[in-house]
Amino acid sequence: MQEQPTAGRITIRRLFRNYLSLFGAIIAGISFTVNVFLLLVDYLAPRQNPYVGIVTYMILPGVTLSGLGLVFGGALLRFYRLRRGRRVLELPHLDLNIPRHRYTLFGGMALVVAFLGLSAVGGYESYHYSDSVPFCGQTCHEVMRPEFTAYQHSPHARVACVDCHIGSGAEWFVKAKISGAYQVYSVMFNKYSRPIETPVRNLRPAQDTCEQCHWPAKFWGEQLASRVHFASDKANTRREIDLLIKTGGGSGTGLAEGIHYHMNISNRIWYIATDEKRLEIPWVRLEDKAGKIVEYVSTEKPITPEQRQKGEMRRMDCMDCHNRPSHRYLPPGRALDPSLEGGRISTDLPYIKKVAVEAMVQPYATTPEAMQKIEQAIRDFYRKEHPAVLTNQGEKVTAAIAEVKRVYGVNFFPEMRVNWQAYPEHIGHKEFPGCFRCHDGKHVAPDGKVISRDCASCHEFLIREKGGLARVPTTAAFAHPWKLGGKHAEILCGACHTGGPAKPATCRGCHQISTADVPMASMKCRECHQKEQVVRPLVSCATCHPRLAGLHRKAAHKDAGCTACHVPHGWSPEPRETCLTCHGDKKEHNPGPACAECHDFRAAAGAAGSAAGKPPAITFPADANSPGPVTFDHATHLAKGAKCADCHPKHFAMKQGGAKLTMDEMGKGKRCGACHDGKKAFGVEDGDKCTACHKEA
């Protein structure tokens, strides 16, 4: 093995007898052998593995060609050196008559056979690993951790990723690999989005994947579903709703009804969405089995000609409703319900659901930080609000914290900015529009036909009776803890049910109406809103405030209407900003103080009026047994420290003629008798005080 002079003929054999060609031959031989083995495995396997296809049909042939390239490259290099008379390094001559050469040859052959065997075994194991879920879910570590974790807790946890994301056949295999090339680049150079963007644009149609296991044409019946919810109140109140889901089907020979009426069997449906998440669908086309086409357009958000031209007209399939079949991230309000139902979180702990949900939705940078602060938030709440719970039920608190952390860990991934809000779910219609994207009662065809929002189209509610379950009329009001009316019966569920902390079950709490320093804070909504859960009609402000004073009487102010200056529910106008909305030219006039410090809005309303800005005296007519009419003077009572809320609306409705006074009623502590009991004020039956009330105004 030393450099030899160039004497002698240049033969083909001599050209290829060099170490570079030998190295290339070894690489080409091994890769070719493994390639043949994997070809046989792939051919004999019950199903094709697209990832093995990458190795078998793309990587290994490339390695083989590279080895052959080294073989011929070494020969060309040898030819170049020999032609120029340079010295070359010759391979040693093999003489089998020499024992050392025989042993070397047989030992080398044994090593080659062993190496090829190990390569075959390794290739076979690689075949199976590349078809495995860990390969898809764990190869990219942090990037795919949310998807992999959610997948493990999904109904499809035993279905391989490639069965849904690629399926069989060469066409979609090639498409997936072209798309995957950019994904590999994104991961390598940290270019991927957080969270991973959806919907997946190059996803294979559901007919080629989902329907290999699911057969919508055969789903003709109804399915019983029981939904258990726990309230965010002190008792963590349990509520169970039973309903029949009308799965239905779309077969040409079966019943084309129910939810799977949408499937591409008897009916075909197309739609155009105007947003990336497919939450806004202003245009829908339906083609029935007879070929009749009907187009529906939203009257609330009609599609523009430009949107119609540029929009993607997508044919509806499973994924347009079941868009998160294996990668679901539940909202905390729902995610904790199974834990409460299963006893992993004790319902004996006051407000445990409310506190847990509030702790889970806080913004955290990392999962370890979230775990630490969730525990801290829950313990701090009980330490401050219910110290006895920590003392007497400490083990339950600890167990609840551990379960809340577990639930957080499978639904929240702060490093990837993933939670239920990142991926709207289209199945159902609670936290997101879902079905109401089309079934909102506002998609109308040219002939006036409307896409129905009737609850009974998809499900029916059941009630538990002594004899079993019984159907009840399906309305939104039935499913709701309190009766829905007015606009509340029309708005989408997600307007209130966001999946996060529950809004307070009161008008003030839900509408965020402050009760601090508001003169009418104790009034009930119905005192002004004449119809329940409807903004208008309203009781006139003049019912309680019949006379205007000061600048209120000026024509421009008088005709403007009270709410032009007085913010509803707050009533006190902003000191200066409210005035400047009309008097913008006075912005630099005496800036700083409130306008009312100089301009009098509460001057006396005239000799017949009450005290400045105060409600007038009210006279109740006398009956047959009364010594005379009763006059109630607001000014006198307000001067002595009484508040509007002391009487209204608990004892007297804010409505003219809404109360009738009787001595018997007041003697029992009602009406005026609530204060005139001989303790707070003189008693209603004090004989020497009759004329204090029975007098003309």
Helices of type H across 314-429: 332-335, 337-341, 352-360, 367-385, 387-392, 394-411
According to DSSP, residue 544 is labeled T
515 vs 333, more confident: 333
71-75, 390-394, 630-634, range with greatest mean pLDDT: 390-394
Which pLDDT belongs to residue 366? 94
Going from N- to C-terminal start, the domains of the chain cover 3-130, 133-203, 216-325+443-474, 332-416, 550-597, 618-693
Q: CATH for 618-693? A: 3.90.10.10
Looking at 43-47, 107-111, 352-356, which range is the least confident one? Answer: 43-47
Distance CA 133, CA 410 (A): 17
Question: Minimal CA–CA distance to 318: which of 371, 369, 260?
Answer: 260
Measure Cα distances from 60 to 51, 65, 115, 247 in Å: 13, 9, 16, 48
Residues 6+ apart with CB under 8 A from 105: 94, 96
Residue 485 neighbours by CB under 8 Å, 6+ apart: 477, 532, 533, 534
In single-letter form, the type of residue at position 195 comes to: P
Mind listing the pLDDT tens digit for each residue in 280-315? 999 999 988 788 999 999 999 899 888 888 888 998
Tell whether the torsion through CA atoms of 407, 412, 414 and 415 is positive or negative: positive
- More confident of the two residues 105 and 53: 105
In terms of Cα–Cα distance, which of 273, 364, 277, 284 is closest to 310? 273
**Higher pLDDT among residues 636 and 660, named by residue:** 636
Question: CB neighbours of 669 closer than 8 A, spacing ≥ 6?
Answer: 677
- Joined together, the tokens standing for residue 138 give 């764990």
User: Could you tell me if 446 and 283 are in contact, meaning their C-beta atoms sit under 8 angstroms apart?
Assistant: no
CA distances in angstroms from 492 to 226, 265, 386, listed in the order given: 22, 30, 36
Residue 609: pLDDT band by 50, 70, 90 thresholds?
A: very low
Q: According to the model, what pLDDT value does residue 610 have?
A: 42
Q: Which of 164-168, 215-219, 632-636 comes out lowest in average pLDDT?
A: 215-219
Q: Percent of the chain having pLDDT more than 70?
A: 80
Could you tell me the strand order of the sheet in which 222-230 lies?
222-230, 238-246, 459-465, 468-472
Considering the chain, what percentage of its residues have pLDDT values greater than 90? 22
Q: What is the CA radius of gyration of the chain?
A: 40
What gap in Å lies between CA 486 and CA 682, rounded to an integer? 45
Sorting pLDDT into bands at 50, 70 and 90, what band is 145? Answer: confident
Is the separation of the CB atoms in 166 and 50 below 8 Å?
A: yes
- Please identify which residue in the block is written with the tokens 């070809």: 39
Q: Are 678 and 686 in contact (CB under 8 A)?
A: yes
In angstroms, the CA 489 to CA 554 distance is: 41
Euclidean distance between CA atoms 658 and 669, whole angstroms: 18
pLDDT grade, residue 136 (50/70/90)?
low
Output the CA–CA distances (angstroms, integers) from residue 670 to 335, 524, 638, 662, 663, in the order listed: 48, 19, 20, 10, 10
Ramachandran angles phi, psi of 488, nearest 5°: -65, -25
Classify burial at 242, counting beta carbons within 10 Å of its beta carbon; exposed 0-12, middle 13-18, buried 19 or more. Answer: middle
Alpha-helical (H) ranges within 348-393 are: 352-360, 367-385, 387-392
Residue with tokens 């445990």, as numbered in its chain: 352
